[in-house]
Amino acid sequence: MSVTQQIITIAVVVLGTMVTRFLPFIVFPSGKPTPKYIQYLGKVLPAAVFGLLIVYSLKNVNIFTGSHGIPELIAIAVVVLLHLWKRQMLLSIAGGTICYMLLVQLVF
Amino acid sequence: MKKGKMAALRAAFPYTIPIFAGFWFLGLTYGIYMNVSGFNFLYPCLMSLTIFAGSMEFITVDMLLGAFNPIQAFFMTLMVNARHIFYGISMLDKFKGTGLKKLYLIFGMCDESFSINYTAKVPIGIDKGWFMFFVTLLNHFYWFFGATLGGIFGSLITFDTKGLDFVMTAMFVVIFLEQWLKDKKHINAVTGLVLSTLCLFIFGKNNFMLPAMAAILIALTVMRKPLEKGGVA
Look at residue B233 and tell me whether its pLDDT is greater than 70.
no
B166 lies in a domain?
A: no
Number of structural domains (chain B) is 2
Same domain, yes or no, for A48 and A83? yes
Same domain, yes or no, for A26 and A56? no
Q: Which residues of A touch B168 (CB under 8 A)?
A: 57
Each residue's pLDDT tens digit, B130-158: 999 999 999 999 999 999 999 998 888 77
Is B70's CB within 8 Å of A8's CB? yes
pLDDT at A31: 64
Helical H segments across chain B, by residue range: 2-36, 42-50, 54-65, 70-80, 83-91, 101-107, 111-119, 128-153, 166-182, 187-203, 209-222, 224-230
Same domain, yes or no, for A65 and A20? no
B171 lies in a domain?
A: no
Same domain, yes or no, for B155 and B197? no
**Amino acid of residue B147:** A
> Residue range B159-174: average pLDDT?
83
* Residue ranges for chain A with pLDDT beneath 50: none
Complex ipTM: 0.87
Same domain, yes or no, for A57 and A101? yes
Task: Using CB atoms, pick whichever of A46, A50, A104 lies closest to residue B172.
Answer: A50
Look at residue B21 and tell me whether its pLDDT is greater than 80.
no
Q: How far is B4 from chain A (nearest CA, A)?
A: 27
Same domain, yes or no, for B115 and B64? yes
Last residue of a domain, one of B100, B131, B161: B161
Is B193's CB within 8 Å of A80's CB? no
Could you tell me how many residues make up chain A?
A: 108
Please give the backbone phi and psi of residue B177, each rounded to the nearest 5 degrees, phi first: -65, -45
Same domain, yes or no, for B213 and B114? no
- Distance in angstroms (rounded) separating the CA atoms of residues B70 and B75: 9
Q: Which residues of B touch A47 (CB under 8 A)?
A: 176, 179-180, 183, 186, 188-189, 192
Please give the backbone phi and psi of residue B92, each rounded to the nearest 5 degrees, phi first: -50, -45
Same domain, yes or no, for B192 and B223? yes
Same domain, yes or no, for A6 and A20? yes
pLDDT at A84: 96
Same domain, yes or no, for B188 and B154? no
- Chain A interface mutation, best of B84, B91, B174, B218, highest count of A Cβ atoms under 10 Å: B174
B174 lies in a domain?
A: no
Q: Which residues of B touch A59 (CB under 8 A)?
A: 200, 205, 208
B176 lies in a domain?
A: no
Mean pLDDT of chain B: 88
Is A57's CB within 8 Å of B161's CB? no
Number of structural domains (chain A) is 2
Closest Cα in chain A to B201: A59
Same domain, yes or no, for A28 and A81? no
> Residue range B194-211: average pLDDT?
91
Same domain, yes or no, for A70 and A28? no
- Distance in angstroms (rounded) separating the CA atoms of residues B153 and B112: 26
Is B180's CB within 8 Å of A37's CB? no
B172 lies in a domain?
A: no
Q: Which domain holds residue B24?
A: 2-161
Each residue's pLDDT tens digit, B24-72: 888 998 999 999 999 999 999 999 999 999 889 999 999 999 999 999 9
Same domain, yes or no, for A55 and A86? yes
Which has more confidence, B115 or A9?
A: A9
Same domain, yes or no, for A20 and A56? no
pLDDT at B202: 96
Same domain, yes or no, for A42 and A59? yes
N-terminal to C-terminal alpha carbon distance within chain A? 31
Same domain, yes or no, for B152 and B193? no
pLDDT at B3: 66
Q: Which domain holds residue A94?
A: 33-107
- Distance in angstroms (rounded) separating the CA atoms of residues B126 and B102: 17
Residue A28 burial class via C-beta count within 10 angstroms: exposed 0-12, middle 13-18, buried 19 and up:
middle
Same domain, yes or no, for A71 and A20? no
Contact criterion met (CB below 8 Å) for A72 and B145 = no
Look at residue B88 and tell me whether its pLDDT is greater than 80.
yes
Q: Which residues of B touch A73 (CB under 8 A)?
A: none
B169 lies in a domain?
A: no
Is A47's CB within 8 Å of B50's CB? no
Q: Which residues of B touch A52 (CB under 8 A)?
A: 79, 192-193, 195-196, 209, 212-213, 216
Same domain, yes or no, for B7 and B121? yes
- Distance in angstroms (rounded) separating the CA atoms of residues B187 and B19: 31
Could you tell me how many residues make up chain B?
A: 233
Instruction: Answer left, alpha or beta for residue A51, where phi above 0 means left and psi between -120 and 50 means alpha.
Output: alpha
- Distance in angstroms (rounded) separating the CA atoms of residues B79 and B178: 19
B137 lies in a domain?
A: yes
Which has more confidence, A40 or B203?
A: B203
Same domain, yes or no, for A68 and A103? yes
Above pLDDT 90, what percent of chain B? Answer: 52
pLDDT at A73: 96
Q: Which residues of B touch A24 (CB under 8 A)?
A: 85-86, 88-89, 91-92
B177 lies in a domain?
A: no
Above pLDDT 70, what percent of chain B? Answer: 97
Is A51's CB within 8 Å of B77's CB? no
